[in-house]
Structure formats: C-alpha cells, structure tokens
C-alpha cells in the first residue's frame, strides 16, 4: 500500500530524531507500506509557530496540506504528533471558517479543498493492526514497558481524538500485540516540557522527572514513545530528570517504530538503536532474545552509546 | 340576532399606554351585532366584572368579548362572571390585545388598528359560538403512588390519612428508597433510618394503603379520575403469605458474593479475614434489616437454582415452606383516579461506561476503577451503622482507617462539557456532613473539600457548614480537581485553590466524589407511559416552575420529590404533602368537571351512519390516545362499519384530529368550522 | 493590592478584542480553577491560568500582557481539554502571547524562551525547514555568555551520534515561505527586541 508521508524536521531535516525517521521508514517498508513524501513539504512551525503566531502556523500548514492534496494523498502519515496536530488543527480551522481558509490560501499561494488529513504512527498502526499481526516474525518477550503518549497524541481531542483522551490504550494494545507487557501507570499523557528543552531545561527536568519516576514506580523497564520531543526529553535529559526527582533512573526510551521493527526482525542498526543517550544495549539484547553483553556498558545517564 | 357586549381593558398601563382603548371601544360600538361596547382600567377587578354583569342585564347580551390579556390569565374569571348572570360561559371569549398587541408593538397607531381588528375578529367568532356544557367524569377515589422512597411514603400517608385508598408500587424489594441508605441527615444529624422506619411501618400497617413491592408499572391507560394501571408484580420466588421474615434462608444461601445495591456496590476487607470482603449480599435477600416488607426476594440472575439448576437450600431450611421457585410474574390491574410519581433519582457514576447518558465519564479521575475513589452514596454506606463496616470509616482497598480524606464537589454537575449543566443542590450540604462525621469518627484525621461554591440555602444550613470548617477543622479549598492518580498506597489529588491563586496537591488515603444527582435510567420510558413531559435531563416537567411545582401538564398526574429535580429531604417531604393535597382536592368531589372543548366525531342518519369511513388517521395523530374505535351495528347486530370515537375524558382539545380528518367528520367543539371561517372571512374587512 | 474598577475598564476595547480572538466571551469562565489544577507548570507561574483569565475578565490589560505565565506555558492543552465551560484557556495563552508581541511587552524574564522561538522561526524562514545547528548558533549568539556554555557536553554527545545534520535541508520554493512570513507577520512596535 502507498501512504503519504510527512516526516517533519525532527525526523528528516535536522534529524535530532533520526532514530524515529529511520526506524519508521524501515518498519513500514517491512510491512509493505510504501511511503511517499509530501513534495517540497515545509516545517509545520512546531512550538515556536503555534505559540507566537497562529496565522503563520495556519498558512504554513495549509501549504503542506495543499501540497499533499495536489499529490493525491488523502492520508498523510506524520509520525511526529506535533506536526500531526498542527496539520490537523489547520485542517479543522480552515474547514470550519472560510475566512480563515482564504487568508491562509492567500498567504501560501495555494488552494486547498480540504481533502487531506494527517494520521499519527500510532493511529495508522492501530487501524491496521491485523496487517501488523500478520507480519510479526518474532514476538517480543514480555518485558514490562510504560507506553508514554505525551500531551499531543490525545489533545486537543477535537483534532487528535482517535483514542481515549485521559486513558489512551492504542499504543498499549500495539505493544501487547508485539509481545511486550504494558504497565498501568499514572503519567501517560502528562507533558514532558516539549520545546523548552533548550530554553528552559529546568522545566523539562521537573516534568520528565515526574514522568519517569512514575514509570519506574509502576515497574516499567523501558518507556515506549512515539514523539521526537518526548524522546529527546526523556532520553537526552534523563540525568537531569533523575537529579530533579531525586531518584535513580535507568530507563531506556524506545520508539514504537523501533520495537515494531525488532518484532519484524530488523536489525538494531537499521533501527538506529545505537544512538540513544540512555544505553539500549541491554534492553535490545533482551528484546532480541540474545545473551546479555558482558559487563562493559555503564549505567544510563553517562554517554554510553555503542555504535554497532 | 346577536347582541354582543365588548369590553376593552386598559390593564393599567400595559395596554392603555400603547392602544387607544376608548377609540377601540367606540369603533366596535358601530360594528354590526355589537349591542354594547366600553373600556375600563382593570376588567378583571370586581368593578370590572360587575360592569360585564350589569351590561348583560341592561342590554340582554347574547355573547361577551373581553379584550384584555391572554385567556390563559383570566378566561375562567370572566366565564365565571357571565355564568353568574345565567349566560353560558362558553359564549364569552377573550381577545388578546396585550401579549399579542400592546406588549409587542411600539407604534401606537398601528397597534390600535391591530387591536380593533383583533376584537372584531373575536366578535365574529362569538356570533357563531355554541352554548356548551361541561363534561362530567366520575372519579375513582383511589390514588396510585409510583415509588416508595420518602416522597412516595409521605404522599401515600397523607392521602390515606385524608380518607382515600392508596396503592404504592415500588420497584425494589423494600420501600425506603435512598433515604434508607443514608447514615445521618443534615442539618440535624438525625439517624436517617430512625426517622424513616416509623413511617415505613405506618405504611405497612395502614388499612387504606396497599403495598406492591418488587413491582413495576407496566402500562397506564385512561385519564384523570379514571386511570387503569397495569402493574407487574415480579416473581419474588417467596410466598408473602407464608413467609415470616425469619431470615433462615439468607443465613444459609451459598451465593454470598453479590454486590449489594443497598450498599451502593461498596465492599471492604473483612478485618477478621483479609482474604474475604464484607458488604456483599446473598442471592435470596432483603436489602437491609429494616426492610418493609421484611420478606426476601430471590435474585434469579445470581441464584444457583435458576442459573445452574443446583442448590435449593433455602427451600429446605424454610420453616413455613414459603419458597416457590415456580412463581411467575403477575400482572394486575389497579383502577385509580390520580397518580403521584415519586420515582426518585440515581447517583451518577464517573465510569466511562455510563451508557444511559451521552456523557463521556471522567477519565482524569480514573473512570471509577480505583477502589479508594468512591462516590457520596458509597461513603454514606461506610458511615452507616447498617453498612459493611457498621459505621467505621475504612479504605475499600486495604481496610485501613484513612488519615486524609479528600472530598470533591460538583463531579459531573455544572459541567457543560463532560457532565450535566445543572447544580445537584444537595452535595455541598452532604459533603459538609461527611467531613463532619468523618472527623467525629476519626479524631486525628484531616478532611479537605475542593468546592466551587458553598450552597447552603436552607434553614440552619449555613451554620451547619460553618461548623464543619470552624469546629471540625475541615480545610475548604476553592477549586476543582484536575486529576487524581495513584502513587504507592495513596492517591494524589491535583486541584486548585483560587483563593490562594495556587495549584494544590494533596496526598489522600480516600477520595469521595460528590457525583451528580441524575434521573432514573428509565425515567424517559416511564414519562412516555404516563404521557407526561420531561426535560433534557429526563427530570419530569412540572406544569409551572413557580406556581405549580407538583402538578404535571397531564391532568391527574402529580410529581413529588427528586424525580422532578434534585432537592433535599425537607423539600421532598413538602412536595409530597403538596401532591397529596392536590390529590385529596381532586377526590373531594364525586364528579370531575372538565372543559367541553373536546373533539367529536359526527354521526349521520342511515344509510351513512357517520361521515367517518374508518381510516383512523386521527388515532395515529392523537397525542393523548383519546381516539377509540366504535363498531356501528344494525338492529340485528351485524357490523356496519367501525368508526372513530373520541374519549371525552382523555381528549385535551388540541384539534389535531379535526385538522387531519380527511372526511371532515370531526369537529372540535368551541372551534367549529363555522366559527373559524367567520374569523377568517372577517380578516381584512373594514 | 487594590483594584479600582470602572465601566470603561471592565468593558474595554482590549477585552473585546481578546474575546474576538478567543472566539468566546470570557464571562463564561466561572473560575473553577480546574485548568490551573492540571497545569504541569503552574508551579512556575505567579498568575496560574485561571488567574490569567481573571485578569482579562476585569480588563487588567497591562498585567495580562506583561505576565510571564503565557511564556512559561508548555502548550500541552490539558487546561482546555478539561475545562467544564469550554473557555479554551490554552487559546487564551496564544492570544496573550501574540498581543504581548504586538504591544512590545514580552516579559524580559523569559527572554530565553522568546528568543528560542524567534531563532526557530528565523531558521524556518531562511530554509523552509529547521536547521538545528543554525538555530542553536543564532540563539546562543544573542546571549553568548549565558547561553554559550549551556549543553556543551550534550551537544558534543549528540554530534558523536551523528545528529543533528551538519547541513541545512531546504525547501525548494523557499521564496514562498518567506512570502508567507511577510503576509502573516504580527504588527509589532518598531523598537521590538527580536531580529526577524
């Protein structure tokens, strides 16, 4: 099957989330999905856009939607939920208010009829879970994971409403389908601090500290995410989080597309499992049913990245 | 020859400041058929009415038109006045030149011309009015009370004490309703069961009251004074005549883990044996020790005998052989003259699967899945001496005494997005009570109450809530709670205190949610059986929110208690007595006079017999079910045809049948074709 | 604190403009506080979200626009999601951010946050897609002493892992992006601090 694809800057352009991009593309290819990038897509504006200038954000995203529509894409896979949300909100707003549509079209010099819509990775996989189940080559062992949706996958519910807003279950169902054991925990949809990772890292440390302590307290051995910002904050900033919450944290942060890829027998290298900040060697070995590597890897928090 | 009297009212300034009343009177005086026309400041006053009566005598009037306010205000006033002078009251009509004219127009000249027109049209109508006689309907002096909670109990006692028979139909195995589940009531802290059970016993003993418990109303036919109600007496599986209420069956029943409705589903660990829990009931059960009647029912959905064909222990141990597994539902008919609906409320659940209403539940509070997040009624059961803990406050999860309890107001109430828009009225008070009683039982405990407003409007209510704060140390935090989640053994409550401008976090051992008071799940179905109006929240709609709170819009049916809207016990009892008074008033005459403006199907001489040809379209459109079928037979008894017939008692005079009759065989008395065409033809004439 | 209220203040043009941009009347908010109760960064705010709404209800324009709260807001929308009156406090934050820029009173205490947004947007304007190296340099250069040493180690660690990309990715029709910027620019006062 063919699917429109909007990778967004984090996955493709500056690629601080190169793992997410690489693993998503590889896993979907293994599922037989051919991804076609929206031609000449631009940045969705992210936090800076939607926080400081709603007209700019709307225009930027109507351009993306119009480009997708012109390329005949009814559904656009946007793995990053912030991109998905910006596209979805732009869609909602211009579909409801013709004046907003006109202003956005004038700004971006394109016409948009309203026939495209973004879809997150979780939603796509969940809608096609039968296909996913068919393609599983090696079921993963029942390692306990906390599925972290972040604030964007379920809010605002008008734009992102495919799962239960307060107690979402779709990513959990997917992980269980792959063989993992999911834990019930209290911070599934709490915000990680998002775009403040550089500009106000104390907030990120506080928020991620709360999230990771809750995940650890629930017995999780890893956290599964589907958002590049969440990944960066929970992974790259885990040391600060641990310090702020005054707890010991050793939680590898894995992308949903990475655990999916492992179940499809893709290699850790293809899935970019070697570039995380919190060391993933041990968890990956366990996920692949391999013997644990002999004691050279340090505890999480240090720069223990092993290039495989 | 018509001699119509026309009376133009100024209604003080209401009409007089816009419409030139003297001019209207003068103009109408010239109209053919008008024998007398005048204007006056207040026609509804005594002098005003005397004006009419005098004119009837002086000018030998054959009809009267009073041009004033809406007939809904004073039509009976003026009709009574003309009747005193021997003129048939239905020859008196009102022309509305207030609501339809002076109150809605600002151009005085145009309004005056319109008023003249309106009066003229009404004069033309009245020229064709027929003298009508009221319909007399017999009254069955028995009342039906649906619901045996405090509202139903009070209404039944009042009606019975006034000397009339009452039948109570109660759905549960016992009467008592929610009040029986409460521990102590605000603001007196009376033990709820102690003040209620004497009334329950009075019901049981009263010679004029018939009690059907474990029963439901199946169908309601008929009309005021003459209802025929079908009641389904569900199979108890126990013969009431033989059962003595000894309780041996309950002691021996092996199915002991059924959630008890009376305990609102709350259970706690057994302090003697932590593997077991208390608060369940058995399959053969009475809801509580004070049940009236104190005779059990078998819950066939959970009884082993009915689900698996096994057991049968109760029958073996019953000393009087009262168990009857073969018993079936019984349908009985009760003929009554009035119905009091006292079906009460239910307490809303925050669970996502609250399927009866299109609301999405509170995921931020866990959808009711955490055992230590309970609702107000469940907390009442913990406080109650007849509850699973005999009155000790403990956590349902581990049975420990909670040291910190957090109460939340307005869960589901005043919430346009996720709940109900209205205020549930009693929660502010009962949460104050809960915090107070908790402190009385757990001296070193700390209570917090997240509230939005403190609604304590009754007598000594405000003083009562202040005691909770000033004497019992409850901390009231002004703000809603955004989220509750478990952390270790405790619950983190994330709320706000807008008075401190702060987000507030409290680690609680137990959380009590004051969830919304909502209508019963089958309120809509019952309303449709009774043909009474109900609102968007399925509370029954009273006839007038200010002046007729206990009457429905359907003649003969009254409301009492929370089925009409959330309210506390004193208001419920007051309404119950009010409804009872209405019923007693209804029963004080032997016959009921009803307005004769009802529909009527024409008959004709043979061979036509009736212009009605039996299509029964009228039957389909009648909202009151007032069309019956009548078989016309010849002298030998052969059927000629089946035609429609209007039941004058049920007919409300809406005219839908007359409008839809294809054969023009139906007339609405008081609005016949001649009258209506007279009005229509007169429009536009000078 | 004392407030002297007047008809003009509680019915001000500014309040009407806020309501117009918000798409609803602020009187719908009955100050239940559920928004502030669920806000993850309420601990950082002198005026939590409900208090910001209260400022608007009373027409207190200066305090509202000069507040730090809207800049510290992470945009998680938990407030709007749970609001029982659907007054959309999250959207109010955006309205206040835009107005603060338009009136030139962006709170200086949160200049890091504002500058980062601006650096992000200039990178976007230049390439159509964000060039992280450019963004970070632009941001740090605005305040090199404070921001220079920040995350130096993390930055090196990231580079060891091959991220971020060294070269910018460009949208082919970058000119279109720049025109979008011009057409949707906020009307700011001349002496604004940011570089566009």
Instruction: Tell me whether residues A217 and B488 touch, CB distance under 8 A.
Output: yes
> Is there a single domain that holds both residue C35 and residue C116?
no
Residues of B in contact with A164 (CB under 8 A): 352, 363
Determine which of A14, A99, A153 to mutate to test the interface with C (most C C-beta atoms within 10 Å): A14
> Is there a single domain that holds both residue C126 and residue C179?
yes
Residues 136-155 of A with CB under 8 A from C: 151-152, 155
> Any chain B CB within 8 A of the CB of C119?
no
For chain B, the chains sharing at least 3 beta-carbon pairs closer than 8 angstroms are A, C
C-beta of residue A86 within 8 angstroms of C-beta of residue A152: no
> Is there a single domain that holds both residue C52 and residue C96?
yes
C-beta of residue B24 within 8 angstroms of C-beta of residue B101: no
Residue pLDDT, tens place only, B222-263:
888 999 999 999 999 999 999 999 999 999 999 999 999 999
C-beta of residue B629 within 8 angstroms of C-beta of residue B673: no
User: Residue B324 has what pLDDT?
Assistant: 95
Task: Tell me if C190 is assigned to some domain.
Answer: no
Q: How many CA atoms lie within 13 A of B126 on its CB side?
A: 29
H/E stretch holding B339? strand B338-341
> Is there a single domain that holds both residue C90 and residue C120?
no
Q: Nearest-CA distance from B409 to chain A in Å? A: 20
In the beta sheet, which residues pair with residue B341? B146, B559
> Is there a single domain that holds both residue C26 and residue C97?
yes
- Quote the number of domains for chain C: 2
> Is there a single domain that holds both residue C93 and residue C114?
no
Give the fold, CATH level 3, of B347-518: FAD/NAD(P)-binding domain (3.50.50)
Query: Residue A302 — pLDDT band, cuts 50, 70, 90?
Result: very low
**Phi/psi at B136 (5° precision):** -105, 130
Instruction: Tell me whether residues C128 and A15 touch, CB distance under 8 A.
Output: no
Q: What is the mean pLDDT of residues C149-164?
A: 80
> Is there a single domain that holds both residue C158 and residue C78?
no
Residue recorded with tokens 């106000």? A200
C-beta of residue B412 within 8 angstroms of C-beta of residue B480: no
Burial group, residue B105, by CB count within 10 angstroms (0-12, 13-18, 19+): middle
User: Are B142-227+331-344+523-587 and B599-669 equal in CATH topology?
Assistant: no
Residues of C in contact with A275 (CB under 8 A): 161-163
User: Residue A296 has what pLDDT?
Assistant: 52
Helix (H/G/I), strand (E/B), else coil: B167: strand
> Is there a single domain that holds both residue C61 and residue C113?
no
Domain B599-669 has CATH 3.40.50.1000: no
Instruction: Tell me whether residues A56 and C162 touch, CB distance under 8 A.
Output: no
CA B235 to each of CA A145, A283, C136: distance values in angstroms, whole numbers, following the listed order: 52, 61, 78
Indicate left, alpha or beta for A194 from its phi (over 0: left) and psi (-120 to 50: alpha): left
Pairing of strands B268-270, B599-601: unpaired
Alpha helices in B531-625 (DSSP H): 569-586, 617-621
Instruction: Tell me whether residues B479 and C34 touch, CB distance under 8 A.
Output: yes
Helix (H/G/I), strand (E/B), else coil: B249: helix
Q: Nearest-CA distance from A15 to chain C in Å? A: 5
User: Residue A226 has what pLDDT?
Assistant: 96
Task: Tell me if C179 is assigned to some domain.
Answer: yes
Supply the range of the domain harboring residue C72: 7-102
The token pair that represents B269 in the structure block: 């660990």
The CATH number for A2-119, chosen from 1.20.1050.140, 2.40.37.10, 3.10.20.90, 3.40.50.2000, is 1.20.1050.140
Residues 2-31 of C with CB under 8 A from B: 30-31
**Between helices A238-245 and A201-217, what is the axis angle to 10°?**
80
What span, in angstroms and rounded, lies between the C-alpha atoms of B89 and B3?
Answer: 15
Contacts of A74 (CB under 8 A, 6+ apart): A4, A115, A116, A117
Dihedral sign, Cα of residue B431, residue B432, residue B435, residue B440: negative
> Is there a single domain that holds both residue C94 and residue C139?
no
**Phi/psi at B491 (5° precision):** -120, 130
Give the residue among A105, A60, A87 at the shortest CA–CA distance from A4.
A87
Other Cβ atoms within 10 Å of B632 Cβ, number: 17
Residues of A in contact with B352 (CB under 8 A): 164, 167
Instruction: Tell me whether residues B363 and A165 touch, CB distance under 8 A.
Output: yes
> Is there a single domain that holds both residue C76 and residue C122?
no
- CATH class, range A138-287: alpha beta
Other Cβ atoms within 10 Å of B362 Cβ, number: 28
Contacts of C144 (CB under 8 A, 6+ apart): none
Determine which of C84, C85, C90 to mutate to test the interface with B (most B C-beta atoms within 10 Å): C84
The token pair that represents A239 in the structure block: 């040391």
Q: CA angle, corner B344, sides to B362 and B335, nearest 5?
A: 145
Q: What does the DSSP assignment read for chain C?
A: ------HHHHT-HHHHHHHHHHTS-GGG-----HHHHH-TTGGG-SS-HHHHHHHHHTT-HHHHHH-SHHHH-----HHHHH-TT---HHHHHHHHHHHHHHTT---GGGHHHHHHHHHHHHHHHHHSS--HHHHHHHHHHHSHHHHTTTTHHHHHHHHHTT-S-SS----TTHHHHHHHHHHH-----TT-S---
- Number of H-type helices and E-type strands within chain A: 15, 8
C-beta of residue B238 within 8 angstroms of C-beta of residue B155: no
What span, in angstroms and rounded, lies between the C-alpha atoms of C36 and B11?
Answer: 55
Of B352, B363, B487, Cβ closest to residue A186:
B487
Residue pLDDT, tens place only, B327-384:
999 999 999 999 999 999 999 988 765 444 555 689 999 888 899 999 999 999 999 9
Give the residue among A83, A79, A31, A88 at the shortest CA–CA distance from A225.
A79
Give the residue among B384, B467, B484, B391 at the shortest CA–CA distance from B429.
B467
Query: Residue C193 — pLDDT band, cuts 50, 70, 90?
Result: very low
pLDDT over 60 (residue A303): no
Instruction: Tell me whether residues C180 and A60 touch, CB distance under 8 A.
Output: yes
Residues of A in contact with C176 (CB under 8 A): 63, 108-109
- Closest-approach residue (CA) in chain A for B489: A217
- Interface B-C: count of C-beta contacts within 8 A: 73
Q: Nearest-CA distance from C7 to chain B in Å? A: 25
**Predicted TM-score (pTM) of this structure:** 0.88
> Any chain A CB within 8 A of the CB of B370?
no
Q: What's the whole-number average pLDDT of chain B?
A: 94
- Closest-approach residue (CA) in chain A for C157: A303
Contacts of B684 (CB under 8 A, 6+ apart): none
Task: Tell me if C66 is assigned to some domain.
Answer: yes
CA A85 to each of CA A45, A82, B139, C75, C77: distance values in angstroms, whole numbers, following the listed order: 11, 5, 67, 12, 12
Q: Nearest-CA distance from C189 to chain B in Å? A: 32
Of B416, B418, B482, Cβ closest to residue C38:
B482
Instruction: Tell me whether residues B417 and C42 touch, CB distance under 8 A.
Output: no
Decide which of A292 and C35 is more confident: C35
CA A29 to each of CA A26, A131, B334, C154: distance values in angstroms, whole numbers, following the listed order: 5, 13, 73, 32
Q: Name the percent of chain A in helix, strand, coil, to the closest 5.
A: 45, 10, 45
Instruction: Tell me whether residues C177 and A60 touch, CB distance under 8 A.
Output: yes
pLDDT over 50 (residue A304): no
What span, in angstroms and rounded, lies between the C-alpha atoms of C40 and C54?
Answer: 20
Q: Nearest-CA distance from B227 to chain C in Å? A: 44
CATH architecture for segment(s) B4-132: 3-Layer(aba) Sandwich (3.40)
Return the minimum-mean-pLDDT range out of A156-160, B217-221, B540-544. Answer: A156-160
Q: CA angle, corner A54, sides to A53 and A57, nearest 5?
A: 90
Other Cβ atoms within 10 Å of A118 Cβ, number: 29
> Is there a single domain that holds both residue C98 and residue C112?
no
pLDDT over 70 (residue B297): yes
Helix (H/G/I), strand (E/B), else coil: B21: helix
> Is there a single domain that holds both residue C77 and residue C120?
no
User: Residue B353 has what pLDDT?
Assistant: 54
Q: Nearest-CA distance from A93 to chain C in Å? A: 12
Other Cβ atoms within 10 Å of B320 Cβ, number: 12
Helix (H/G/I), strand (E/B), else coil: B40: strand
Give the residue among A307, A249, A246, A237 at the shortest CA–CA distance from A277.
A237
CA B585 to each of CA B151, B153, B581, B582: distance values in angstroms, whole numbers, following the listed order: 19, 19, 6, 5
Task: Tell me if C189 is assigned to some domain.
Answer: no
User: Residue A295 has what pLDDT?
Assistant: 61
Q: What is the mean pLDDT of residues A250-276?
A: 94
Determine which of B498, B499, B500 to mutate to test the interface with C (most C C-beta atoms within 10 Å): B498
CA B142 to chain CA mean position, Å: 19
Task: Tell me if C2 is assigned to some domain.
Answer: no
Pairing of strands B481-487, B490-497: antiparallel
Contacts of B226 (CB under 8 A, 6+ apart): B137, B138, B139, B140, B335, B337, B649
Residues 93-132 of A with CB under 8 A from C: 106-109
What span, in angstroms and rounded, lies between the C-alpha atoms of B197 and A29?
Answer: 73
The token pair that represents B638 in the structure block: 């052969």
Q: Which residue among C79, C102, C125 closes a domain?
A: C102
Contacts of A140 (CB under 8 A, 6+ apart): A178, A179, A180, A259, A262, A263, A287
Identify the CATH number of the domain defined by range B142-227+331-344+523-587.
3.50.50.60
Q: Which residue among C42, C76, C102 closes a domain?
A: C102
Q: How many CA atoms lie within 13 A of B223 on its CB side?
A: 18
Of C35, C48, C82, Cβ closest to residue B501:
C48
Residue pLDDT, tens place only, B348-363:
988 765 444 555 689 9
Q: Which residue among C76, C102, C128 closes a domain?
A: C102
């Amino acid at each position: 099957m063919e699917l429109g694809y909007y990778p967004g800057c984090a996955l493709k352009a500056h690629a601080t989330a190169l793992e997410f991009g690489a693993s998503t593309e590889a896993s979907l290819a293994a599922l037989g999905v051919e991804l076609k990038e929206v031609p000449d897509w631009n940045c969705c504006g992210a936090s800076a856009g939607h926080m400081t200038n709603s007209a700019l954000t709307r225009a930027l995203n109507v351009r993306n939607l119009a480009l997708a529509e012109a390329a005949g894409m009814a559904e656009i896979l946007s793995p990053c939920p912030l991109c998905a949300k910006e596209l979805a909100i732009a869609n909602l707003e211009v579909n409801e208010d013709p004046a907003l549509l006109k202003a956005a079209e004038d700004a971006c010099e394109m016409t948009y009829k309203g026939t495209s819509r973004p879809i997150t990775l979780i939603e796509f996989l969940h809608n096609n879970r039968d296909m996913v189940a068919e393609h599983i080559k090696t079921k993963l062992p029942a390692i306990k994971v906390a599925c972290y949706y972040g604030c964007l996958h379920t809010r605002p519910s008008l734009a992102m409403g495919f799962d239960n807003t307060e107690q979402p279950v779709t990513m959990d169902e997917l992980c269980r389908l792959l063989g993992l054991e999911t834990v019930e925990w209290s911070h599934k949809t709490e915000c990680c601090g998002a775009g403040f990772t550089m500009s106000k890292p104390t907030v990120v440390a506080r928020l991620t500290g709360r999230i990771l302590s809750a995940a650890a307290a629930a017995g999780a051995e890893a956290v599964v995410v589907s958002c590049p910002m969440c990944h960066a904050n929970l992974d790259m900033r885990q040391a600060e989080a641990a310090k702020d919450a005054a707890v010991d944290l050793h939680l590898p942060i894995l992308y949903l597309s990475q655990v999916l890829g492992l179940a499809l027998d893709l290699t850790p290298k293809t899935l970019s499992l070697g570039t995380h900040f919190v060391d993933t060697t041990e968890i990956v070995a366990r996920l692949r049913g391999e013997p644990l590597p002999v004691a050279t890897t340090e505890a999480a928090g240090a720069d223990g990245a092993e290039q495989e | 020859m018509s001699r119509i009297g026309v009376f133009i009212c100024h209604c003080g300034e209401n009409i007089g400041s816009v419409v030139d009343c003297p001019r209207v009177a003068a103009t109408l005086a010239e109209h053919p058929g008008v024998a007398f026309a005048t204007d006056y400041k207040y026609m509804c006053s005594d002098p005003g009415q005397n004006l009419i009566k005098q004119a009837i005598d002086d000018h030998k009037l054959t009809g009267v038109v009073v041009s004033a306010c809406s007939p809904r205000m004073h039509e009976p006033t003026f009709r009574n006045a003309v009747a005193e002078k021997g003129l048939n009251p239905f020859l008196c009509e009102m022309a509305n030149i207030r609501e339809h004219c002076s109150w809605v127009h600002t151009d005085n000249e145009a309004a005056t011309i319109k008023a003249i027109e309106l009066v003229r049209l009404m004069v033309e109508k009245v020229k064709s009015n027929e003298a009508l006689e009221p319909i007399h309907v017999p009254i069955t002096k028995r009342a039906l009370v649906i619901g045996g909670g405090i509202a139903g109990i009070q209404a039944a006692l009042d009606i019975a004490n006034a000397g009339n028979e009452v039948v109570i139909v109660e759905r549960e195995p016992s009467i008592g309703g929610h009040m029986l589940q409460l521990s102590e009531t605000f603001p007196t802290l009376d033990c709820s069961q102690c003040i209620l059970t004497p009334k329950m016993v009075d019901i049981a003993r009263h010679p004029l009251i018939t009690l059907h418990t474990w029963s439901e109303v199946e169908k309601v036919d008929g009309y005021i004074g003459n209802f025929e109600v079908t009641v389904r007496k569900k199979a108890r599986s126990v013969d009431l005549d033989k059962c003595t209420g000894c309780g041996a069956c309950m002691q021996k029943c092996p199915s002991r883990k059924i959630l008890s409705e009376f305990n609102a589903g709350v259970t706690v660990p057994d302090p003697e044996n932590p593997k077991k829990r208390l608060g369940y009931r058995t399959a053969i059960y009475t809801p509580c020790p004070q049940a009236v009647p104190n005779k059990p029912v078998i819950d066939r959905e959970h009884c082993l005998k009915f689900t698996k064909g096994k057991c049968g222990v109760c029958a073996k141990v019953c000393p009087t052989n009262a168990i009857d597994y073969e018993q079936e539902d019984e349908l009985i008919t009760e003929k009554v003259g009035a119905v009091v609906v006292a079906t009460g409320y239910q307490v809303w659940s925050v669970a996502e699967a609250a399927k009866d209403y299109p609301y999405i539940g509170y995921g931020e509070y866990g959808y009711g899945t955490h055992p230590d997040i309970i609702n107000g009624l469940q907390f009442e059961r913990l406080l109650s001496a007849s509850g699973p803990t005999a009155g000790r406050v403990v956590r349902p999860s581990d049975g420990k005494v909670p040291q910190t309890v957090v109460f939340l107001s307005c869960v589901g109430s005043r919430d346009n997005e996720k709940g109900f828009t209205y205020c549930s009225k009693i929660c502010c008070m009962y949460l104050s009570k809960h915090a107070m009683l908790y402190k009385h039982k757990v001296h070193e405990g700390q209570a917090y109450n997240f509230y939005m407003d403190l609604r304590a409007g009754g007598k000594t209510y405000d003083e009562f809530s202040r005691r909770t704060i000033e004497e019992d140390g409850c901390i009231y935090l002004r703000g809603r709670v955004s989220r509750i989640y478990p952390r270790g053994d405790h619950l983190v409550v994330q709320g706000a205190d807008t008075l401190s401008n702060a987000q507030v976090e409290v680690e609680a051992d137990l959380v009590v949610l004051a969830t919304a008071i909502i209508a019963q799940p089958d309120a809509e179905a019952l309303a449709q059986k009774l043909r009474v109006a109900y609102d968007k929240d399925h509370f029954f709609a009273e006839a007038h929110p200010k002046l007729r709170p206990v009457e429905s819009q359907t003649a003969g049916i009254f409301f009492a208690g929370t089925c009409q809207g959330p309210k506390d016990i004193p208001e419920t009892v007051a309404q119950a007595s009010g409804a009872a008074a209405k019923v007693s008033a209804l029963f004080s005459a032997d016959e009921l006079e009803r307005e004769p403006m009802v529909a009527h199907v024409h008959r004709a001489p043979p061979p036509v017999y009736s212009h009605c040809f039996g299509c029964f379209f009228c039957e389909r459109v009648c909202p009151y079910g007032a069309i019956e079928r009548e078989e016309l037979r010849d002298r030998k008894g052969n059927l000629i045809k089946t035609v429609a017939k209007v039941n004058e008692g049920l007919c409300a005079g809406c005219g839908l049948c007359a409008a839809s009759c294809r054969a023009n065989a139906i007339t609405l008395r008081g609005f016949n074709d001649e009258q209506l065409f007279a009005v229509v033809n007169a429009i536009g004439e000078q | 604190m004392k407030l002297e209220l007047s008809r003009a203040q509680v019915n001000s043009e500014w309040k009407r403009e806020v309501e117009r941009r918000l798409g609803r009347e602020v009187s719908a908010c009955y100050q239940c506080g559920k928004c502030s109760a669920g806000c993850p960064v309420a601990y950082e705010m002198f005026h939590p979200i409900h208090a910001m709404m209260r400022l608007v209800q009373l027409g207190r324009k200066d305090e509202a626009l000069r507040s730090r709260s809207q800049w510290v807001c992470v945009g998680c929308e938990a407030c709007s999601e749970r609001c029982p009156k659907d007054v959309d406090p999250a959207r109010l934050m955006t309205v206040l951010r835009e107005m603060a820029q338009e009136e030139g009173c962006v709170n200086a205490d949160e200049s890091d946050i504002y500058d980062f947004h601006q650096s992000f947007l200039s990178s976007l304007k230049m390439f159509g897609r964000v060039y992280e190296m450019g963004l970070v340099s632009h941001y740090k250069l605005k305040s090199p002493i404070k921001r220079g040493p920040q995350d130096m180690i993390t930055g090196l660690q990231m580079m060891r892992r091959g991220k971020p990309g060294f070269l910018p990715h460009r949208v082919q029709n970058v000119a279109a992006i720049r025109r979008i910027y011009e057409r949707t620019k906020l009307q700011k006062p001349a002496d604004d601090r940011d570089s566009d």
